[in-house]
């Protein structure tokens, strides 16, 4: 099978750790285009929480894949770049996006992720693992009040907001920020994924009936066509 081009699946919430039976997991793995793809869980945003890591492995036990994880708080000595470039899929967990970005930059993960993306390794994740790929985002990294963050990795242009229907304040805060001049972008309800081929939105998918992806700009928001996964 041919190697896929640069691909990111940005998931508003859910996935391997919090919704282990979600069809989004099989969807993401299938984008690797090969049997038994190698998938690495990067739990930095959650502080490498061992319960999260264990949940990831339990989810993968029911799927046809080869799982591993990359720890950055308790370094094992393995080379970050080599580990990530050996994967077919990389899944980034949720948690504190600002901490994730700082730690990745300290360890060179940001550069390795860009190299992996350009090599056709599928990048994906939910919550923090959704928004880290964009230039900007709405985050609770600094407290429950929600704040704009404008120093994302910038693989994808514009901004993003997760949990659009899962947390009451996400929608009004994001819409108000964009109306006030914050970069426009995309929002995703929980269990919704936006697949980008290169930097272009290719498809929106959902593991939950009625959930949607959204385009948000200075003119307001509009629901995007979203395919329900079986």
Known catalytic residues are 127, 163
Contact of 128 with 174, CB cutoff 8 Å: no
Give the C-alpha separation, 203 to 169, whole Å. 26
Give the C-alpha separation, 144 to 118, whole Å. 35
Give the C-alpha separation, 139 to 142, whole Å. 8
Tokens of 38: 């190698």
Q: Which of 194, 192, 229, 195 is nearest to 212 (CA)?
A: 192
Q: Which of 44, 26, 43, 22 is nearest to 35 (CA)?
A: 26
């Amino acid at each position: 099978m041919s190697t896929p081009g640069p691909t990111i699946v940005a998931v508003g919430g859910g996935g391997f750790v919090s919704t282990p039976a979600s069809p989004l997991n099989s969807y993401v793995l299938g984008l690797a285009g090969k049997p038994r793809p190698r998938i690495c869980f990067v739990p930095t945003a959650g502080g490498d929480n061992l319960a999260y890591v264990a949940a990831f492995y339990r989810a993968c036990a029911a799927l046809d894949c080869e799982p591993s994880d990359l720890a950055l708080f308790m370094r094992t000595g393995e080379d970050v770049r080599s580990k990530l470039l050996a994967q077919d899929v990389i899944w980034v967990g949720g948690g504190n996006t600002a901490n994730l970005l700082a730690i990745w930059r300290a360890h060179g993960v940001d550069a390795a992720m860009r190299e992996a993306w350009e090599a056709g390794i599928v990048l994906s994740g939910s919550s923090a693992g959704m928004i880290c790929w964009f230039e900007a985002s709405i985050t609770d990294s600094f407290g429950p009040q929600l704040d704009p963050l404008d120093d994302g990795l910038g693989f994808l242009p514009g901004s993003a907001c997760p949990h659009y229907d899962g947390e009451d304040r996400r929608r009004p805060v994001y819409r108000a920020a964009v109306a006030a001049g914050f970069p426009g972008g995309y929002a995703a309800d929980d269990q919704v994924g936006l697949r980008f081929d290169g930097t272009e939105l290719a498809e929106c998918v959902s593991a939950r009936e009625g959930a949607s992806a959204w385009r948000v700009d200075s003119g307001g928001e509009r629901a995007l066509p979203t395919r329900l996964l079986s």
